Each structure stands twice: as structure tokens, then as C-alpha cells.
A = this chain, B = another copy of it.
Amino acid sequence: MRNAEFDREKVLRKAMTLFMEKGYNKTSMPDLKQATGLHPGSIYCAFENKHGLLLAAIAQYKADRNVEFSQFFSTDEPVLTQFKTYLDHIVSECVSCDAAKGCLFITALYESTQADKEVQAVISENIAQWQQAIADKFKQAMTKGELSADKDHEHLARFLVMGIYGLRTFAQSHPQPEILEKLAEQLFNSICH
């Protein structure tokens, strides 16, 4: 017996960064070898193939985003304030120059073909879970009286997810901070008022 020598999380984060920066298809095995330090054989040994590495990277991305999400909502501020901070964070990601400006869910979903039902299903499921977490927070805001109780928290969550996707996509062509901030603000207001 023998355990893998590499740090699985580090390798997955390197891979996920490449997938976000260059896209899955244009990230070659030589690219992955260079970025991760792993030889092709090791990648195949650990992840079956390039597609398996993508799935593992998506899972890691989901785990990382989950932790991040929880952190934004673990303060003792009002839930709506937490949402605003969360949105501001996303805007700052959009205008950053590193890989975080692209969301792996979106890029992988747009790149996936009809043939790759597996990636599509995994990402849809991950998005649905994120949306549910948002819906739960909205419900919490309603029970705390921060949000009028006649709203549909699941609809609000869908609208926010839609808006965040819109922000991210809009930022791809027009990454101006002030404009994105205004858009995020109106998005927030559309939900709260």
C-alpha cells in the first residue's frame, strides 16, 4: 500500500483555477501537469481522467463556496445586512483580475455539451443547494421581522441567484466597479422593498 504524495485540495484548487481561467476544454493535460506538478499518470490514477478531475474540482469549488457562504452569514448583524455584504463581496470578485471573477458553475455549465449530462446535473444540483441556503436565510429574515412576511422566500432566492448570475455575466463585458455596485444595490433593493 501507499498513499498519494500530493495534497488533494491543493491540486484541485490549482485545477479549478485553470478551468476558470482558460476553460475546461482549453486546459490541456500539459497545462495541468505544469500547474499541479502531477504527471499524467498520477492524475489518471487519482481522478480516472480529465473529466473526473473536472468533477472533483467542481466538488471542491462547491465545498469552498459553502464555507465562504457560511462565513458571511455567521455574524450577529441583521440577515439583510449580511446579504448586502455578501453581494458586495461578489461584486469585488467580479472586478478582480484573478480566476474568482469567473464562477466555475457558470463557466463549466456553459462549456458543457448536451452529451455531458453528468456535469450538467452536478452543477444544477449544486446551484439548487446554494439557492436553498439563500432561501433559508430569507426565511430567517422574515421570521426576524427584517423582511415583510408576505413575500415568497424561495422566489426571492431565485431572483437573487438570477441577479448574481446577471452581475457576473454583465461584468464579463463591462467590469466597471461603480456600475456593478449600483446594479448590485438595485438588485438588493428589488428584493427588500
Contacts and interface: CB of A to CB of B under 8 A. Distances in A.
A144 interface: no
Contacts of A164: 166
Q: How large is the interface on A (under 10, 10 to 19, 20 to 34, 35 or more residues)?
A: 35 or more
Contacts of A106: 110, 169
A29 to B, nearest CB: 16
Nearest to A131: B174
The A contact surface, by secondary structure, is helix
A136 B123 CA distance: 37
A179 interface: yes
A147 interface: no
A99 to B, nearest CB: 11
A25 interface: yes
Interface string A111-131: 101100000100110011000
A22 interface: yes
A37 B102 CA distance: 36
Interface stretch (A6-14, A45-53, A56-64, A154-162): A154-162
B182 A155 contact: yes
Contacts of A127: 173-174
Contacts of A107: 110
Interface in A72-96: none
Contacts of A183: 158-159, 162
B23 A113 contact: yes
A20 to B, nearest CB: 11
Contacts of A158: 170, 179, 182-183
Interface in A20-60: 21-23, 25-26
Interface of A: 21-23, 25-26, 102, 105-107, 109-111, 113-114, 120, 123-124, 127-128, 155, 158-159, 161-170, 172-174, 179, 182-183, 186-187, 190
